[in-house]
């Protein structure tokens, strides 16, 4: 393990001691967000050593012109990047004439960071000695309001400990920011307007090309021992893109001085361009009227509501408890489901990597979490996001030569256009299309809300079926349909033929689309006529699809009695991961790409991803065989890997292994298993962590409109509990080693199945099994 400095705690992420080497990792781990904006845990004051600055606004992106070595037809023109947004947190500080910078202080003691997940705030405290000998105690709390999602709050307190101090606070807002991953070193923000009056300032800037307008604002107040001094700035520095105020205070030794800074953004996604500053002024007025203490209290209450529904408790294992809460917290910081224009980026608001926001991760990993812990409208919003991008997915397939309304959803996107530009992924990692169809199936299976399919889903299913029909090739040699030149979920082999997962999903997509067409024709005649007329589909075309589905080829090894990951898998040198020297790992950092591609090593669940989606198509024996065949070659170098393996190991009763995978998925970032947390956290796989408890240990499945459980518990735990919103009934499940308890809110009873036996749960009565 790479790092172990995070102190185990049930509700908080805690770091103690100042270590410049850890700053970038901690900036990721202590990130905060409220669904509308988020930021890395950068220091407010100047910091002259290594740091990765990042502040992000949901839905605001920049199309960075593609940079590749050799252009290939079909590449997208640009890569949509989540932008590093203008900085509103900055507060330069001068103490007795010296610019305060932790990196320049001869001594820093009692340094502590705490991310309080229960209450939704981030706190930093320390005692620092400056070069001029002044010793100060600092306490800073920061949060992004859930109730008012355009508002961020900082309370920055300084107490000089050994002498009186002249403190100069220089809070600023600055649109002169850059992305570390900019392809051409271009600036992404064009400053438009700067305004300030008294303690408030506004910088309006617009993204180049996409023309999102954003007002970044701040409003400052200076306090002494918690009493507002009603100070005005003694100086204002402004340029075209930055405003900085200067406040001076004389602080006696032992006296607490503080600056409160309200800041954040109003954006043109939600306001008229002409109303951005007025919008920000309203947020400031309301925040000032409430005051810091009330705002903090509201934050605590808002997070309590989220936890009320989404918390998972684990007794007897603090690290496991901290892990799952960190995952649930980050998911809620990233996406709250209020806005169907938004989605869940793999790095959320914690870093730049992965650019755009939406990968297949959303459909394959995130939807179950949001379905079960929020109102079902939230999952429906996520599906609608893809429905709204269907035209673009059809255009995208068109660029690659597909016709007749076939859709290929992008590998990564912000607005529906493809933003990925590595041929082996952009053109070949087409299994993503299947996950989008699977999510529609999964949504109906879980929520029972069929209305989505005739209203929207069917059009998506038809366009996806058309794609698979055209993408398959008839092999005269085999008298079967094959799918050539693909990359499966295992990105460690490219351009392979007949990736089992892709072929299986393609067949399933066609079969499922045909089934749904028939059902909608029978039960929703007017929707059916509308859709069929719109997409111009006839029986002859459907018969062609069916041929492909019925005659799909799946590579299989008689010798091993397993489906093969792809045609050539057995030709590889099959040395298991355990027999690989540890110094060679992670292979994606140690080996050339050429070596990786020839190796048998699997980045993440691939055949097993198919067994996860379609578990009930296979027997337990088949799962066991495939798990035993593939897991030993799996390096789990994608964050999406351990959760699927944890669920399957639990299903197979291998609790020790399931537990190891659980720790790996839930503490992937906290313990930095893949040695990359400084780039940001792995947000989408956090939903997989949730699945590994609920579906893995809890064994929850939905079959024939009912909830089934096969509860199991790792021996390291005394008990665990979670809540499920199943079709608007809230069920709490608590598992201990010898019993499982169910309790239900509301007024209606619910029958669930435990290890196959029906159990009637009456509302507000505890049932023990
Ligand atoms: C994984 C993909 C995933 C992407 C974003 C990659 O490392 O291999 O499956 O979609 O990360 O999370």
361 is known to lie in a ligand binding site? yes
Q: Which two tokens stand for residue 456?
A: 């929207």
- Ligand 1 atom with the smallest distance to the CA of 682 is 12
Give how far the C-alpha of residue 102 lies from the chain's centroid of Cα atoms, to the nearest Å: 31
Strand order in the sheet with 32-33: 32-33, 37-39, 55-57
Please tell me whether the peptide bond between 586 and the residue prior to it is cis, using omega within 30 degrees of 0. Answer: yes
Phi, psi values for residue 476, rounded to 5°: -65, -35
Q: Looking at the domain assignment, is residue 50 inside a domain?
A: yes
Pocket of ligand 1 (CB under 6 A): 346, 354, 359-361, 489, 491, 603-604, 638, 640, 684
Burial of 398 (C-beta count, 10 Å sphere; 0-12/13-18/19+) = middle
121 assigned binding-site residue: no
361 C-alpha vs ligand 1 centroid, how far in Å? 7
473 contacts: CB under 8 Å, gap ≥ 6: 481, 482, 483, 484
The helix/strand/coil state of 437 is helix
491 is catalytic: yes
> Which atom from ligand 1 is nearest to the alpha carbon of 346?
12
Per-residue confidence band for 356, with pLDDT thresholds at 50, 70 and 90? low
Contact 214, 190 (CB under 8 A): no
| Closest Cα to atom 12 of ligand 1 | 346
pLDDT grade for 380, boundaries at 50, 70 and 90: very high
Cα 663 versus chain centre, distance: 18
Give the SS3 label for residue 478.
coil
Q: How many domains does the chain have?
A: 1
Instruction: Specify if 28 maps to a domain.
Output: yes
Instruction: Find the radius of gyration of the CA atoms of the chain.
Output: 27
Ligand 1 centroid to 306 CA: how many Å?
27
Within a domain: residue 456? no
Percent of the chain having pLDDT more than 90? Answer: 92
Give the 3-state secondary structure of residue 141.
strand
Task: Kindly report the CATH number assigned to the domain that includes residue 277.
Answer: 2.70.98.40
Pocket test for ligand 1, best of 352, 360, 491 (most atoms within 8 A of CB): 491
Position 44 in a domain: yes
Question: Which pLDDT score, from 0 to 100, does residue 306 have?
Answer: 97
> Considering only CA atoms, which residue is closest to atom 11 of ligand 1?
638
Task: Name the residue with the closest Cα to ligand 1, atom 5.
Answer: 346
Distant-in-sequence contacts of 275-282, Cβ < 8 A, 24+ apart: 276/202, 276/204, 276/213, 276/214, 276/215, 277/193, 277/195, 277/202, 277/204, 277/215, 277/217, 279/150, 279/215, 280/150, 280/202, 280/215, 280/217, 281/200, 281/217
- Checking if the pLDDT of 181 tops 90, the result is no
What is the C-alpha to C-alpha distance for residues 106 and 198, in angstroms, rounded to an integer? 36
CB-count burial class (<10 Å; 0-12, 13-18, 19+) for 258: buried
Note whether 545 and 510 are within 8 A (CB).
yes
Residue 82: burial class (beta carbons within 10 Å; 0-12, 13-18, 19+): buried
- Spatial contact of 468 and 407, defined as CB atoms under 8 Å apart: no
Is residue 264 within 8 Å of residue 88, measured between CB atoms?
yes
| Distance in Å, CA 641 to ligand 1 centroid | 10
Query: 638 alpha carbon to ligand 1 midpoint, in Å?
Result: 6
Give the pair of three-digit tokens for residue 644: 């699927």
SS3 at position 78 = strand
Please give the number of the atom of ligand 1 that sits closest to the Cα of 360.
10
Residue 1: the pLDDT is 45
Under 8 Å CB-to-CB from 21, ≥6 apart: which residues? none
CA 606 to ligand 1 center in whole angstroms: 12
Helix (H, G, I), strand (E, B) or coil at 555: coil
Contact 173, 203 (CB under 8 A): yes
Q: Contact 131/98 with Cβ under 8 angstroms?
A: yes
- CB distance 603 to 637 below 8 Å: yes
User: Residues 78-121: pLDDT tens digits?
Assistant: 888 888 999 999 999 999 999 999 999 999 999 999 999 999 99
Candidate from 79, 492, 604, 638 with most ligand 1 atoms within 8 A of CB, to mutate: 638
Strand partners, 602: 634
Express each pLDDT in 184-208 by its tens digit: 888 899 999 999 999 999 999 999 9
For the chain, the maximum distance between any two Cα atoms, rounded to a whole number of angstroms, is: 89
Helix (H, G, I), strand (E, B) or coil at 139: strand
Q: Whose CA is nearest to atom 9 of ligand 1?
A: 489
Residue whose CA is at the smallest distance from ligand 1 atom 7: 638
Nearest-CA residue for ligand 1 atom 6 is: 638
- In angstroms, the CA 664 to CA 646 distance is 9
Residue whose entry in the numeric block shows the structure tokens 């340094």:
111
- Does residue 33 form part of some domain? yes
Beta partners for residue 757, in sequence order: 754
Residue 133 lies in a domain: yes
Distance of CA 88 to the CA centre of its chain: 23
Question: How is residue 36 written in tokens?
Answer: 């509308």
pLDDT score, position 338: 85
Alpha-carbon gap, residue 721 to 2, rounded angstroms: 30
List C-alpha distances in Å: 366 to 151, 335, 686. Answer: 26, 10, 8
Token pair in block for residue 120: 């939704």
Q: What's residue 722's pLDDT? A: 98
| Catalytic option among 150, 429, 491, 631 | 491
For residue 729, give the nearest of 696, 713, 756, 752 by alpha carbon. 752
**Which pLDDT does position 2 carry in this prediction?**
54
If you measure from the C-alpha of residue 637 to the centroid of ligand 1, how many angstroms do you get, rounded to a whole number? 10
Contact 433, 389 (CB under 8 A): no
Q: Distance between CA 219 and CA 723 in Å, rounded? A: 40
Which residues, in sequence order, are bridge partners of residue 474?
Answer: 481
Beta-bridged to residue 79, according to DSSP, are 64
CA distance 372 to 644: 18
pLDDT in tens, 45-76: 999 999 999 999 999 998 888 888 888 888 88
Interacting residues of 273 by C-beta distance below 8 A, sequence separation 6+: 213
Domain presence at residue 112: yes
More confident residue, 239 or 421: 239
Q: Which atom of ligand 1 is nearest to the CA of 359?
A: 10
Instruction: Name the DSSP letter for residue 509.
Output: H
pLDDT digits (tens, 9 = 90+) for 678-736: 999 999 999 999 999 999 999 999 999 999 999 999 999 999 999 999 999 999 999 99
Residue nearest atom 1 in ligand 1 by C-alpha distance: 638
Cα of 604 to ligand 1 centre, how many Å?
9
Which of 82, 331, 358, 361 for a ligand 1 pocket mutation test, highest count of atoms within 8 Å of Cβ?
A: 361
CB atoms within 10 A of CB 72: 11
Examine residue 703 and state whether it is found in any structural domain, yes or no.
Answer: no
Which pLDDT score is estimated for 340?
A: 84
Q: Residue count of the chain, please give it.
A: 769
CB 89 within 8 A of CB 42: yes
pLDDT tens for each residue of 610-669: 999 999 999 999 999 999 999 999 999 999 999 999 999 999 999 999 999 999 999 999
Q: Which residues contact 26 (CB under 8 A, 6 or more apart)?
A: 15, 41, 113
- What is the distance between the alpha carbons of residues 161 and 305, in angstroms, rounded to a whole number? 40
Q: Look up the domain containing 48 and give its range.
A: 13-59+87-308
């Amino acid at each position: 393990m790479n790092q172990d400095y995070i102190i185990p705690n049930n509700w908080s992420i805690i770091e103690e001691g100042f270590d410049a080497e850890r700053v970038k990792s901690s900036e990721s781990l202590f990130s905060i967000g409220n669904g509308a904006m988020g930021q890395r845990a950068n220091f407010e004051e100047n910091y002259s050593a290594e740091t990765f600055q990042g502040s992000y606004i949901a839905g605001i992106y920049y199309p960075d012109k593609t940079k590749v070595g050799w252009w290939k037809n079909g590449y997208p023109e640009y890569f949509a990047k989540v932008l590093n947004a203008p900085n509103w947190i900055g507060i330069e500080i001068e103490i007795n004439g010296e610019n305060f910078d932790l990196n320049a202080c001869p001594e820093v003691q009692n340094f502590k960071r705490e991310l309080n997940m229960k209450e939704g705030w981030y706190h930093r405290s320390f005692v620092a000695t400056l070069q001029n000998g002044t010793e100060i105690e600092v306490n800073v709390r920061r949060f992004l309001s859930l109730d008012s999602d355009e508002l961020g709050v900082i309370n920055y307190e300084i107490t000089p400990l050994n002498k009186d101090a002249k403190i100069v606070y220089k809070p600023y807002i600055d649109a002169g920011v850059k992305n570390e991953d900019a392809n051409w070193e271009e600036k992404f923000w064009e400053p438009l307007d700067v305004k300030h009056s008294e303690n408030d300032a506004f910088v309006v800037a617009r993204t180049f090309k996409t023309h999102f307008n954003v007002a970044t604002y701040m409003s400052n107040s200076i306090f002494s021992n918690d009493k507002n001094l009603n100070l005005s700035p003694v100086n204002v520095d402004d340029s075209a893109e930055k405003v900085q105020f200067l406040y001076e205070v004389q602080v006696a030794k032992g006296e607490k001085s503080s600056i409160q800074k309200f800041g954040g953004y109003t954006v043109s996604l939600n306001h008229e361009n002409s109303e951005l500053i007025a919008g920000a002024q309203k947020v400031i007025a309301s925040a000032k009227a409430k005051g810091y203490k009330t705002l903090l209290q509201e934050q605590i209450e808002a997070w309590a509501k989220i936890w009320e529904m989404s918390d998972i408790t684990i007794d007897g294992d603090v690290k496991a408890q901290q892990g799952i809460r960190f995952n649930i917290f980050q998911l809620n910081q990233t996406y709250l489901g209020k806005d169907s224009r938004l989605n869940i980026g793999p790095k959320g608001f914690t870093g730049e990597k992965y650019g755009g926001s939406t990968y297949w991760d959303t459909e394959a990993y995130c939807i179950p979490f949001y379905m079960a812990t929020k109102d079902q409208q939230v999952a429906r919003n996520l599906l609608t996001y893809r429905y709204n991008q269907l035209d673009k997915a059809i255009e995208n397939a068109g660029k690659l030569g597909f016709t007749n309304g076939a859709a290929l959803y992008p590998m990564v996107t912000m607005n529906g256009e493809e933003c990925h530009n590595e041929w082996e992924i952009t053109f070949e990692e087409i299994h993503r299309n299947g996950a989008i169809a699977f999510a529609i199936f999964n949504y109906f299976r879980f929520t029972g809300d069929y209305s989505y399919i005739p209203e929207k889903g069917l059009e998506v299913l038809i366009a996806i079926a058309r794609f698979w029909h055209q993408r398959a090739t008839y092999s005269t040699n085999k008298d079967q349909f094959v799918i050539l030149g693909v990359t499966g979920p295992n990105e460690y082999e490219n351009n392979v033929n007949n990736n089992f997962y892709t072929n299986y999903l393609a067949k399933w997509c066609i079969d499922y689309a045909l089934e749904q067409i028939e059902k909608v024709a029978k039960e929703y005649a007017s929707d059916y006529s509308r859709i069929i007329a719109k997409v111009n589909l006839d029986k002859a075309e459907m018969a062609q699809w069916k041929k492909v589905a019925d005659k799909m080829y799946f590579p299989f090894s008689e010798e091993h009695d397993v489906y093969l990951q792809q045609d050539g898998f057995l030709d590889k040198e099959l040395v298991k991961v355990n027999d690989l020297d540890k110094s060679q790992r992670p292979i994606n950092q140690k080996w050339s790409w050429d070596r990786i591609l020839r190796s048998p090593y699997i980045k993440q669940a691939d055949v097993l991803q198919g067994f996860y989606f379609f578990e009930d198509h296979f027997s337990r024996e088949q799962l066991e065989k495939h798990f035993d065949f593939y897991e030993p070659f799996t390096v789990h170098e994608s964050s999406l890997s351990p959760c699927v393996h944890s669920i399957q190991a639990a299903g197979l009763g291998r609790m020790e292994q399931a537990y190891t995978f659980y720790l790996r998925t839930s503490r992937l970032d906290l313990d930095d298993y893949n040695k990359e947390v400084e780039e940001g956290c792995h947000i989408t796989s956090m939903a997989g962590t949730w699945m590994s408890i609920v579906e893995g240990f809890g064994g929850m499945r939905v079959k024939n409109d009912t909830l089934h459980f096969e509860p199991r518990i790792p021996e390291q735990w005394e008990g665990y509990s979670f809540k499920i919103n199943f079709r608007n009934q809230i069920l709490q499940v608590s598992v201990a080693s010898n019993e499982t308890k169910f309790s239900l809110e509301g007024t209606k009873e619910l029958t669930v199945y435990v290890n196959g036996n029906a159990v009637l749960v009456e509302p507000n009565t505890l049932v023990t099994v």
